[in-house]
Amino acid sequence: MDLLKKAKGQELFDQITYHLDLIESDYFGLRFIDSAQVAHWLAVTKSIKKQVKIGSPYCLHFRVKFYSSEPNNLHEIFSVENWSVLSDTAVQLAAYNLQAEFGDCGLVECSSEFVTEFRFMPIQTEEMELAIFEK
């Protein structure tokens, strides 16, 4: 992503959330590792260059920053009802799920049948499974 040298963290964060089409951005943030291998949250009000001393290129990680400590407080409509998503989005989410569980899986270690073992959608076709595998 292209930013001015004096860009603040908020400018980068806004570009990322726009690219991801993320509306509820309050729960997320950007983390970086300093030269002492300590993780820090990027402050959105400060210049990126002043915070991230290691670079260029800079290595920042998009992470969950806040989550509900009381899941019972979630509205029932959000936790019980089925939500429909576009097929491309469902495939991408399923691929993220597999990657989170098993890490990067190359073509040598895994085959497209690997995806068949998991149910991500009520109606999961072979075409979807192949698309998930290819992601």
Rounded CA gap, 30 and 11, in Å? 12
What structural domains does the chain harbor?
9-69 (3.10.20.90), 82-134 (no CATH)
The letter for the amino acid at 120 is F
Per-residue DSSP letter, 27: G
Q: Could you give the percent of the chain with pLDDT greater than 70?
A: 78
Rounded CA gap, 50 and 39, in Å? 15
Q: Could you give the percent of the chain with pLDDT greater than 90?
A: 14
* pTM, full prediction: 0.48
Whether 55 contacts 20, CB under 8 Å: no
The two beta strands, 61-64 and 39-41, are unpaired
Q: Tens digits of per-residue pLDDT, 48-89?
A: 888 888 777 778 888 887 766 666 665 554 555 556 667 788
